[in-house]
Chains A and B, each alone.
Chain A
């Protein structure tokens, strides 16, 4: 490596690489969320029989991980580069390793390992099997074959590759603190994010209005359920995301007792499940337009008629 890649160059390289592997480049989804998996481009699109190949950057907010901009590795908001491919390609591992080469990481000069790590997100009714990928002992990517999403058994199965961009960049740029990363054009990560990190931490831990948040959670939930009943999957899902983020804010504030915690999570899970079901139904109504094989589509839609 002659010149070290900036954060934005890393993103550009990954976008270029995965688009050339047949992934659509989506944009970050505009509702707060804790992980790229929760974007509708993954959570919803992973469900159902239609093929789906997409890649995008997702800013991910985890209020409880905020450290006032003082911890070199923990952040209120970090960035994930998310790749989702359904059905999971035969050479998905090789594709991933190819992306590392694009970033100038020659596997012969490092130690790259696939270490078992099965992923679960009980609040969204999700579970998968896979690995964390170690680059010289550092976990830089989560690699998952989804098995269940929103309580729905995957068929076909989607593979998800999630790069922790700050981690990866810290490695590539060889810095000890994320705030020393170069985002682009000589501007440091800290120049951009240190202030919001401090402010969001201060807000989440000390200043947030608990009562307002509690009310918001209830209102968002009511609205989500109402729109699920109306068959408006996407608006309903937006409100589930809002519930989830509101819960995370309450949790960071220490406003949720352990007892209540399980209750909130199960409320979110129940909504996520109904939405997952409703999403498939809506896609079916539209005739699964992303399925290119007409015979296959006819088969899936025939099932539908028989069901009725």
Chain B
């Protein structure tokens, strides 16, 4: 017979962002538990609200399946003594299996006879298995954990009740002071406690008490309520998925409503309006029918019914008005001063105690961005705009608006820059320099903005590393990994050729020349930073679903050029299934392996052609001489092309040449020649990493 199990964990209000991941976690842990317990069921249905995590398991069997197994014991010769009586070993074994020696049979395993017993383990009844769900509840992990009262259990919020019903029977369990029962709680204000007679009644019973337990149904209800409001008023409301998810997890019985604010606040930049509504109040903002202009209305969702909705609406209007009034005040105050005023203020604002002020950071970034700008071929006008942007780009940090709404940094910078007569390129760069603001966030579009974003991030990484604040494990308080990820993604996106190591050396040199360097040695960190950035390249390549060996081969090349690494990974990936790939790579890898037998300094690599003993040496020598000219300036595709022209010559070289010749001079001449080839290969990538089938 099929059974249904209902488990509701009743909690004080969970953080909205934790509800969905937590119910998913509960389902996953339950699945795993039931699988390990060999308990058959048909499906697990999740329910969740801010105050409850619930699962309903349908189609449960009566009990675990029985187990019949044969258990192996000691060898026959140990099990029987000289007289043919059972030995202690045999008696002990059968006892240990809950049986007697009468149950013993003998079976041959690989030529030796062993003792066996046939065991029958009856499956445990479903209720017994389910009472073990207590440990599933207490083993849950959350991003924020807390303790309460005198207890030591850490949980997301205090557990206040537990409903555990197998069909119509309570499954007993107790966590701290809470015993499982059939009584759930309704909506905090509209509902009352409700006795659930049968697990299947759950959703309907709670609905009577003003709780919509199915998160999906609740969400679509909110959506349709908002759509109705939009339709009735001839508005456009673009429902932000993240906000909807959050709002859905703040309510158990949603009722959408709208309110308005004074038109005079529409003077504020739309970002300010949206931030005030969406981020601070969890309101949806409203646009006109053409989806072009923000209107002085908002839509919010109440946790309750439509009674006294005018109170709720008026209250929310009042709060929003106070915020917008503040914003207006700052918007007007901020415009009373020019950009220079704010730039001067940055002389007193610390970038980091151990590094410098914000003003000094801008000076360094000016130098760095100019260096990058020239490398990527910006025009004189662009370089001029870049320099202007770098001189002022952090100024909005000390404006009142950004002080109040920190999430508007950069955005207000752009607005205020335009108001103060800066050109659009400069203004856009100021906004874009923060991008990407998350791992997969939007990238800067403009060239000048991209260069400024790179320079700002390089400076942060260089100076934090130099000050000894290097990310380790999960500890990355200044989000330097995100900054490095930003560098990688911007360069990949813009397809710029920037050799990391040489370029960072140049930054430091230029900073020293211009006397804007921090009082820290940045040089000593550069190799580590190259590796730090390479780690991010590997991450990005992994998310592009390239195979591990190709990523490692590309990332471990001696070049340290982000674009080159991306290109070498993709050229390897494109060629890996071609007919000659295997042979080519094997020939090149042979060179890598043999050249490891020697190590020469760069200035010792002169090959003496007079020492050649066969034509294959000369052929390879000529080809390499021809190829190496300009090779290290090639892009990855061309370098790959050049390398794959070598294998035939390499193979005939190895056929005809005894590399490790007895004559020391000749041997070294061989190894020098192979080292030159190997350097070319290693420049492209560490092909030894490739798994060649």
Q: B303 — which chain A residues lie within 8 A by C-beta?
A: 111-113
Which residues from 216 to 266 on chain B have a C-beta closer than 8 Å to any C-beta of chain A? Answer: 250-251
Provide the bound-state CA to CA distance between A112 and B252, in Å: 12
**Can you list 13 A-B contacts with CB-CB less than 8 angstroms, sorted by A residue number?**
A87-B150, A88-B148, A110-B311, A114-B12, A114-B13, A116-B14, A129-B144, A138-B318, A147-B146, A157-B146, A157-B149, A157-B150, A171-B315
Question: A156, B300: Cβ atoms under 8 Å?
Answer: no
Q: Which residues of B contact A97 (CB under 8 A)?
A: 188
**For the complex, is A107 an interface residue (Cβ under 8 Å from B)?**
yes
Interface string of A22-51 (1 = CB under 8 A from B): 000000000000000000000000000000
Contacts of B152 in A (CB 8 A): 155
Q: Mark A101-116, 1 if CB is under 8 A from B, else 0.
A: 0000001111111111
Q: Which of A9-17, A254-262, A276-284 contacts B (4 or more CB under 8 A)?
A: A254-262
Flag if B146 contacts A131 (CB, 8 Å). no
Verify if A135 is at the interface (C-beta below 8 Å from B): yes
- Judged by a CB distance under 8 angstroms, whether A8 is at the interface is no
A149 contacts chain B at the CB level, 8 A cutoff: no
Are B315 and A137 interface neighbours, CB within 8 A?
yes
Assess the A156–B149 pair: CB atoms within 8 A: yes
Instruction: Name the residue in A137, A257, A258 with the highest tally of chain B Cβ atoms < 10 Å from its Cβ.
Output: A137
Residues of A within 8 A of B (CB): 72-73, 87-90, 93, 97, 107-116, 118, 129, 131, 135-138, 145, 147, 154-157, 159, 171, 176, 257-259, 262
Total B residues in contact with A, Cβ cutoff 8 Å: 44
How distant is the Cα of A257 from the Cα of B148 in the complex, in angstroms?
39
A-B contact count (CB 8 A): 106
Known contacts A109-B311, A171-B315, A257-B350: does B188 contact A87 (CB below 8 Å)?
no
Which residue of the partner chain B has the closest CB to A144?
B146
Tell me which of A93, A108, A114 contacts B308 (CB under 8 A).
A108
**Nearest CB in chain A: distance from B302 CB, A:** 4
A138 to B312, CA, bound (A): 10
Nearest residue, chain B, Cβ from A128: B146
Rounded to whole angstroms, the CA-CA distance of A292 and B15 in the bound complex is 36
> Residue of B at shortest CB range from A296?
B150
Q: Tell me, rounded to whole Å, the shortest Cβ–Cβ distance linking A155 to chain B.
A: 8
B574 within 8 A of A: no
- Chain B nearest CB from A189 CB (Å) reads 17
13 additional A-B residue pairs with CB within 8 Å, beyond A90-B160, A112-B189, A136-B315: A73-B322, A109-B311, A110-B312, A112-B188, A113-B251, A114-B12, A136-B311, A136-B314, A136-B316, A137-B281, A157-B148, A157-B149, A259-B353
**Contact of A90 with B149 in the complex, beta carbons under 8 Å:** yes
Cβ–Cβ < 8 Å partners of B146 in chain A? 129, 145, 147, 157
B308 contacts A258, CB within 8 Å? no
What is the CB-to-nearest-CB distance from A90 to chain B, in angstroms, rounded to a whole number? 7
Give the residue of A113, A118, A138, A176 whose beta carbon is less than 8 angstroms from that of B144: A118
User: How far in angstroms is the closest Cβ of chain A from B540?
Assistant: 32
- Pick the residue among B13, B147, B250, B311 that contacts A157 (CB under 8 A): B147
Q: Which residues of A contact B160 (CB under 8 A)?
A: 90
A170 to chain B, nearest CB (A): 9
Q: Are A108 and B304 touching (Cβ within 8 A)?
A: yes
Q: Knowing A157-B149, A257-B348, A262-B353 are in contact, say whether A110-B190 is a contact too (CB < 8 A).
A: no
Chain A: which residue is nearest B281 at the CB level? A137
CB distance A93 to B12 under 8 Å?
Answer: yes
Q: B307 at interface (Cβ–Cβ under 8 A)?
A: yes
Q: How far is the CB of B64 from chain A (nearest CB, A)?
A: 37
A147/B319 contact (C-beta < 8 A), A90-B160, A111-B303 known: no
How close is A172's CB to chain B, nearest CB, in angstroms?
A: 11
Q: CB < 8 Å: which of A90, A115, A131 contacts B177?
A: A90
Q: What separation, in Å, do the CA atoms of A131 and B281 have in the docked complex?
A: 15
Residues of A within 8 A of B304 (CB): 108, 111
Q: Is B571 an interface residue (CB 8 A)?
A: no
Given contacts A136-B314, A145-B146, A171-B315, contact A111 B190 (CB under 8 A): no
Q: Which of B269-303 contact A (CB under 8 A)?
A: 281, 300, 302-303
Cα distance, A114 to B250, chains bound together (Å): 8
Residue of A nearest to B18 (CB): A116
A108 to B250, Cβ gap below 8 A?
Answer: no
B199 on the A face (CB < 8 A): no
| Contact present for B350 and A258 (CB under 8 Å) | yes
Chain A CB within 8 A of B500 CB: no
Shortest A263–chain B CB gap in Å is: 9
- Please pick, from B15, B150, B307, B348, the residue contacting A156 in the complex, using a CB distance under 8 A: B150
- Is the Cβ of B147 less than 8 Å from the Cβ of A147? yes
**Are B149's CB and A87's CB within 8 A?**
yes
Assembled-state Cα–Cα distance A114/B349 (Å): 36
Residues of B within 8 A of A72 (CB): 322
The answer to whether A108 and B316 have CB atoms under 8 Å apart is no
> Knowing A88-B149, A113-B250, A171-B315 touch, does A108 contact B350 (C-beta < 8 A)?
no
A167 to B190, CA, bound (A): 26
Contact present for A145 and B148 (CB under 8 Å): yes
Is the pair A109, B188 in contact by a Cβ cutoff of 8 Å?
A: no
**B298 vs chain A, min Cβ distance (A):** 10
Complex Cα spacing A108 to B189, Å: 6
With A73-B322, A145-B148 as known contacts, state yes or no: A110 contacts B315, CB within 8 Å: yes
CB distance from A264 to the nearest CB of B (A): 12
CB distance from B680 to the nearest CB of A (A): 50
Chain A residue at minimum C-beta to C-beta distance from B320: A137
Contacts of A107 in B (CB 8 A): 188-189
Can you list, as one digit per residue, whether each of B309-342 has a CB less than 8 Å from chain A (1) or not (0)?
0011011101110100000000000000000000
Q: B16: CB under 8 A from chain A?
A: yes
B488-520: which residues lie under 8 A (CB-CB) from chain A? none
Q: How far is the CA of A257 from the CA of B356 in the complex (A)?
A: 12
* CB-contact partner of B16 in A109, A116, A145, A159, under 8 A: A116
Smallest CB–CB gap between B603 and chain A, Å? 48
**B15→A259 contact, CB < 8 A:** no
Q: How far is the CA of A147 from the CA of B189 in the complex (A)?
A: 29
B320–A258 CB distance below 8 A: no
